[in-house]
Structure 1
Amino acid sequence: MTSLLQRPGIGTAFVAVALLAVGSFCSVVALSCMWWQGAVGATAFAGMASAQGGLGLWKFVGRSDVLGVSLPSASISLDSSVLCGGDFQVQIQEEVCSGIHTTRGFVNAAVCCSIVATLAALISVLALLNCGGALDPSLGARLLLPCSGLATAAAGLMIAAMIMGAVAGHGMGLGDFGTLSYAMGAGVYGAIFQIITVLLGAALAASARSSLSWKSLPHADAEAEPRV
């Protein structure tokens, strides 16, 4: 196994698999965690209460404190009639909900591309290692370029999601109120790390493909031996 990983391109492909796997995990974080977090300080309620809230691509979670006592948190689905599932009363609500739905669509597509790219890279490495002789090593080399393309597409979709998320956040007026403090949620950081890791994985997959030649494949040495 060690000698195989030392062959040109195979070790690079192995690292690409690891990066793409991390990128897939980060894309799931972006899909499931909060993107926008805000808090209204106690000064807004005469020092008697404060409120915090987080909005993700699927739900809103709110928490509040009254006289130092924490009240139970409340969770509302984004698709409920209270938020984005009913008739829009004002245009700004329609714009914000449309932006969040578009962001969710882009992130969903990015998750799918990331996972498929990771699986393609994994199959490629297994084929290049010629595990059990069940897979053709040349198949592994051919899979690297589609894998790189899918990973690049996943990063592009996530970038589009972040742009739409920023537009939706601006539409909500986050940060425009003196008593409201705003911070990015874990979903945004997941999206950022997904973009970085899958782009690195895509670059390494393409580099591994360019480094591979027929002579570097595991079965090449055996076929190169003269037949008696």
Structure 2
Amino acid sequence: MAQPGRRRMYLGMAGTAVMLLGGCASHRSSAKVDKQWVARVPPGELGNVREAQLTEDHAREQITRTQVARQDAEAEREVAQRNEDAAKSRHEASEAALEAAQATGDVAAIERAQHAACTAQHALTLAEAETAWRDDAVTTLKSLEVMRQRELDVADAQLEQAKYEAVNANADVRAKELSPGDFSSAVADARRKAADQQRQVDANLQREDQAKAHWQQLQDQGYGGSGTQQP
């Protein structure tokens, strides 16, 4: 399972996606409404526009939050990688010590070296598992960043659609220059891209969960926090 805070982030992402996708891209909509046209609409008739603007603001905020989470995950991966490198060095040293002990023929020395080599191997196995999990976590958050952008694309398209509807309802003749179908198509296209990316995030999250479960399983089997197996 993902960490609680990160899991809440994923759930929040899914909730936002449902809200956006259930409404009426990396490429922004070409259907735009002139700001001056919107400024001529009475404030009391801009309720849907303001609501759409709030949704867009929220989508932008979520992009920033996800970027920060991804940076934190990358830092955690770097720590895990350094721990793995250190564990690998200790394992190599223990193997060399075992060879040296075997060359002496001293049974007691060989047994001690074998135990040390086994402990080092356990530590390396655990460290490798954590690095794999941390790496998958970064991959998940990178795909989530893309998802956040897709959500913003949906919000942008919906905002432009709300602006068009407000201008059109205000009987602005210039609205006749625009096609309602263009706005609907822009929203539909953004929703489709967001749905595609949502599936990618789900797949990455599943792989991350499996990697973490494997790491936790190794710990539950008797590996200590330092990677040593407990007697």
TM-score by length of 1: 0.42
- Bigger fraction of residues in helix: 2
TM-score by length of 2: 0.42
Larger RCO of the pair (alpha carbons < 8 Å, separation 6+): 2
Where is the strand percentage greater, Structure 1 or Structure 2?
Answer: 1
